[in-house]
A and B are shown apart, each in its own frame.
Chain A
Amino acid sequence: MVSRVYIESELRDHPRARRLLQRLHKLPVTEIEFYGEVFNPRAQNFRLQKKNPALIIARKNRGQVLAAPDGYGLGGDFNYYFSHMLNCIYDCRYCFLQGMYQSAHQVLFVNYEDFGEQIRQTAAAHPHRPVWFYSGYDCDSLANEPMTRFTEYFVPLIASIDNAWMELRTKSTQVRSMLQMEPVARVVTAFSFSDRFSHSKLEHGVPAIDKRVDAMRRLLDAGWPVGLRFDPVVYHRDYQNAFVELLQQVFAKIDASRLHSVSLGSFRLTRDHFRRISRLYPEEPLFAQNMQLDNGIISYPLEREQAMIEFCEAELMKHIPAESYHPCEWHG
């Protein structure tokens, strides 16, 4: 939940903003000129703000669709991402969003139509070729769904563009809105999981694994393409047993042959993000583990990382067909 609302003055009469203000009518509202004047100042403490973040209702004026970073995605030739929100309602210690912005407030850009127009233009630039649009880069795609009604606009949009594909990435159980729609073969909902131990220690506020597996199964049963993301795999003393247990928990309810894609990657952050997050949480064991810098990325020493990935891959392959597997490649 959010504790207060900031709204750009010019959006007072925007239909989505009005609906949000009605929904959040009990919260204090502060008018601002531009979201950056609350979101960007340096004198903010992300850690303190994360305890009780505000919602900033804003308009994104340019750069609604951007090229995805190298290595992001499922191997398609044309990968883009867009962020209708900045920041996440969850508080996962390993997530790069912890160090991405000065502020922990959640920014919601309500000008969906401008995003839609850029998505159309971007897809049109690659005619007859599949173009992927990733929505879960700067936020959890679905976690705020009751408030954002993201899928209501973007799923039909993608369905209407023949060569557009979209990945929604989530740790939430908010699938009700999608279950009320006809499934779209080019909209993949990817659920991220960490093992039980990492979940309890590092994924603050994230729904229980079982509940997310149930949400995933409901989408699958309704005919939606669904993906699995075991990313990041975090090292701890019992990671092997915990990972095996996680796979058992997931595949007890999920028919692996029906999965769109499965990916796996170990914990990693860019050096800048690692520095910023570890300064915010100096007591966090995750950042005190043995790590190495490789090509601007901080991760486990190569030997440990290889051992982790080999073990997890081998276990994963006991459950899934090889063709649905997409390893997360990030080494240069």
Chain B
Amino acid sequence: MLIWVCALHCEAKPVIDFYRLKKSHDDNAFDVYRGDGMVCIISGTGKIASAAACAWIAAQNAREPALAWINLGVAGAAEDDIGKLFALDKIVDADSGQRYYPAPVVSSPLPARACLTLSEARQDYRDDCLFDMEASGFIYSALRFSSAELTRSLKVISDNRRHQTGRKRQQVSDLIQGNIEAIDIEATALLDLESEISALEFSAESWRQLLGMAHFTQTQKNRLRVLWRYLSNRDFSPEALLERLAQQKNAAGMIATLEQISYRDAEEL
């Protein structure tokens, strides 16, 4: 599952249109748009709003085996051209001084830049970084639910010392729309990583069936999970395994059976 976190609807609109996301009418705490394998949440402005939105949407998707995140929005810069897209490689919270480092695993063609997250909009552009109002809240919260490799913050320059276009909604949408293909490349790469991690998990349905076949102590459940995850990843059919386990009288017998199957399989390395 890929989660887009945008402060404003005008920042999210190009993504909503590009991926044909549909507004969810089941959610009322935040505006949420859903699509195939992804969701976009409109957090509102500011780092606290961004952190709250991340936490809320993560809780909504707690059953997903892995969550990937993209914080997409506009930022200010001293000299960079309006409309230029950056991937943040360092996020500094202006209030606390706390630093965060997203960890891109896939080499990105996007230029990287540090970003200072402010609590209030300011016009005193500094030369060495971008400015926004959400990134530190976003990453603080997203990293509670995911890893730095699955967390990206992409910023399009909306204002600099010479031009301030950041307050006009249509212009913000246009600036992001102008980068939508590059943004899609980042999203696709992130989704690939997320899929790799998700694929390591077994199906919730087979696990539910397994637990229903006998009474397992917590220690037995832990062992069972290791064995089930291994065999699921080795292309053993869950149905065939469940059928074999049905012949066992109790939890210990089921675990012993799975161990024997695992040991035999693992001898091949």
Asked if A237 and B200 sit within 8 Å, CB to CB, the answer is no
Is B268 among interface residues, defined by CB-CB distance under 8 A? yes
Asked if A237 and B267 sit within 8 Å, CB to CB, the answer is yes
Is B101 among interface residues, defined by CB-CB distance under 8 A? yes
Asked if B112 and A28 sit within 8 Å, CB to CB, the answer is yes
Range, interface on chain A: 35 or more
Q: Mark A122-146, 1 if CB is under 8 A from B, else 0.
A: 0000000000000000000000000
| Bound complex: CA A314 to CA B85 (Å) | 64
Given the known A-B contacts A44-B147, A237-B267, are A278 and B90 also in contact in the complex, defined by CB atoms under 8 Å?
Answer: no
Given the known A-B contacts A202-B269, A288-B230, are A37 and B105 also in contact in the complex, defined by CB atoms under 8 Å?
Answer: no
Tell me the smallest distance from the CB of A46 to a CB of chain B, in Å: 9
Is B197 among interface residues, defined by CB-CB distance under 8 A? yes
Asked if A52 and B107 sit within 8 Å, CB to CB, the answer is yes
Q: Which residue of B lies closest to A27 (CB)?
A: B107
* Set B107, B146, B259, B269: member contacting A198, Cβ < 8 A: B269
Residues of B within 8 A of A48 (CB): 105, 147, 149-150, 193, 196-197
Asked if B112 and A30 sit within 8 Å, CB to CB, the answer is yes
Is B20 among interface residues, defined by CB-CB distance under 8 A? no
Kindly specify which of A59-67, A258-266, A279-287, A320-328 makes contact with the partner chain: A279-287
* Set A41, A198, A282: member contacting B143, Cβ < 8 A: A41
Given the known A-B contacts A52-B106, A283-B233, are A278 and B197 also in contact in the complex, defined by CB atoms under 8 Å?
Answer: no
Given the known A-B contacts A288-B266, A289-B266, are A3 and B107 also in contact in the complex, defined by CB atoms under 8 Å?
Answer: yes
Interface-central residue, B89, B148, B150, B227, by most chain A CB under 10 Å? B148
Asked if B269 and A49 sit within 8 Å, CB to CB, the answer is no
| Bound complex: CA A6 to CA B101 (Å) | 10
Is B161 among interface residues, defined by CB-CB distance under 8 A? no
Q: Mark B224-243, 1 if CB is under 8 A from A, else 0.
A: 00110110011000000000
Residues of A within 8 A of B266 (CB): 285-289
Given the known A-B contacts A236-B268, A283-B200, are A45 and B150 also in contact in the complex, defined by CB atoms under 8 Å?
Answer: yes
Given the known A-B contacts A45-B150, A45-B197, are A286 and B99 also in contact in the complex, defined by CB atoms under 8 Å?
Answer: no
Tell me the smallest distance from the CB of A106 to a CB of chain B, in Å: 13
Taking CB atoms and an 8 Å cut-off, the chain A residues in 263-306 that contact chain B are: 278, 282-283, 285-290
Asked if B101 and A51 sit within 8 Å, CB to CB, the answer is no
Residues of B within 8 A of A307 (CB): none
Interface-central residue, A30, A38, A43, A236, by most chain B CB under 10 Å? A43
Q: Which residue of A lies closest to B225 (CB)?
A: A282
* Set B105, B144, B226: member contacting A278, Cβ < 8 A: B226
Is A32 among interface residues, defined by CB-CB distance under 8 A? yes
Q: Which residue of B lies closest to A235 (CB)?
A: B267
| Bound complex: CA A41 to CA B149 (Å) | 12
Residues of A within 8 A of B144 (CB): 43
Q: Mark B98-109, 1 if CB is under 8 A from A, else 0.
A: 010101111100
Tell me the smallest distance from the CB of B106 to a CB of chain A, in Å: 7
Interface-central residue, A234, A237, A282, by most chain B CB under 10 Å? A282
Is A201 among interface residues, defined by CB-CB distance under 8 A? yes
Q: Mark A1-37, 1 if CB is under 8 A from B, else 0.
A: 0011010000000000000000000001011110001
| Bound complex: CA A45 to CA B229 (Å) | 18
Asked if B269 and A43 sit within 8 Å, CB to CB, the answer is no
Residues of B within 8 A of A41 (CB): 101, 143, 148
Tell me the smallest distance from the CB of B132 to a CB of chain A, in Å: 18
Asked if A236 and B150 sit within 8 Å, CB to CB, the answer is no
Q: Mark A305-322, 1 if CB is under 8 A from B, else 0.
A: 000000000000000000
Asked if B143 and A38 sit within 8 Å, CB to CB, the answer is no
| Bound complex: CA A47 to CA B104 (Å) | 13
Asked if B150 and A286 sit within 8 Å, CB to CB, the answer is no
| Bound complex: CA A236 to CA B101 (Å) | 41
Asked if A44 and B233 sit within 8 Å, CB to CB, the answer is no
| Bound complex: CA A81 to CA B22 (Å) | 58
Residues of A within 8 A of B89 (CB): 4, 28, 30
Residues of B within 8 A of A37 (CB): 99, 101
Given the known A-B contacts A43-B143, A43-B146, A52-B107, are A282 and B229 also in contact in the complex, defined by CB atoms under 8 Å?
Answer: yes
Is A197 among interface residues, defined by CB-CB distance under 8 A? yes
Hey, which bits of chain B sit against chain A, CB under 8 A?
89-90, 99, 101, 103-107, 112, 114, 143-144, 146-150, 193, 196-197, 200, 226-227, 229-230, 233-234, 259, 262-263, 265-269
Provide 12 A-B residue pairs closer than 8 Å at the C-beta atoms, listed in order of the A residue: A30-B112, A44-B103, A45-B150, A48-B196, A49-B103, A54-B103, A282-B230, A283-B200, A283-B233, A285-B268, A287-B266, A289-B266
Hey, which bits of chain A sit against chain B, CB under 8 A?
3-4, 6, 28, 30-33, 37-38, 41, 43-45, 47-49, 51-52, 54, 197-198, 201-202, 234-237, 278, 282-283, 285-290
Closest 7 CB pairs of A and B: A283-B233, A285-B266, A43-B143, A45-B147, A288-B266, A48-B149, A282-B229
